[in-house]
């Protein structure tokens, strides 16, 4: 799949670069290291991985993760994204979550 998350070795799994998300077990691993995620972080990561290589807007995350209609004053996405990056990107050499200025976020490995 060009740009998107590649299906993992088993059904119900997504993979982007060295990050794997097991949708059935609700676990995330990167380089074989288990990453502890809260429910909203897992949901955000799933949306990002399903749309790997594409821009995911703040509004899309609010609708898909929180079932909110657009609320311009909330910082819930930014707060959770910061926590997610601390777990997914910070401990590793390659960042997978990228901010697309004035657009949203994108997930991809090195290009």
Judged by DSSP in three states, 26 sits in coil
Residue 72 belongs to domain spanning: 6-107
Domain count, the chain: 1
- In this structure, what token pair is assigned to residue 21? 């998300």
pTM assigned to the model? 0.87
pLDDT digits 0-9 by tens, 23-53: 999 999 999 999 999 999 999 999 999 999 9
- Asked whether residue 91 is domain-assigned, the answer is yes
- Asked whether residue 41 is domain-assigned, the answer is yes
Residue 22 contacts residue 12 (beta carbons within 8 Å): yes
**Owner of token pair 């997978």:** 96
Can you give the CATH number for the domain in which 84 is found? 1.10.10.10
- Asked whether residue 1 is domain-assigned, the answer is no
- Asked whether residue 92 is domain-assigned, the answer is yes
**C-alpha to C-alpha distance for 24 and 74, rounded to whole angstroms:** 31
């Amino acid at each position: 799949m060009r740009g998107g998350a590649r299906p993992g070795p088993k059904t119900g799994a997504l993979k982007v670069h060295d990050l794997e998300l097991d949708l059935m077990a609700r676990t995330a691993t990167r380089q074989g290291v288990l990453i502890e995620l809260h429910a909203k972080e897992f949901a955000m990561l799933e949306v990002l991985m399903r749309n790997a290589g594409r821009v995911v807007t703040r509004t899309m995350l609010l609708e898909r993760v929180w079932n909110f209609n657009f609320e311009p004053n909330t910082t819930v996405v930014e707060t959770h994204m910061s926590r997610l990056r601390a777990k997914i990107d910070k401990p590793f050499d390659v960042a997978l979550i990228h901010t697309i200025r004035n657009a949203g976020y994108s997930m991809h490995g090195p290009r």
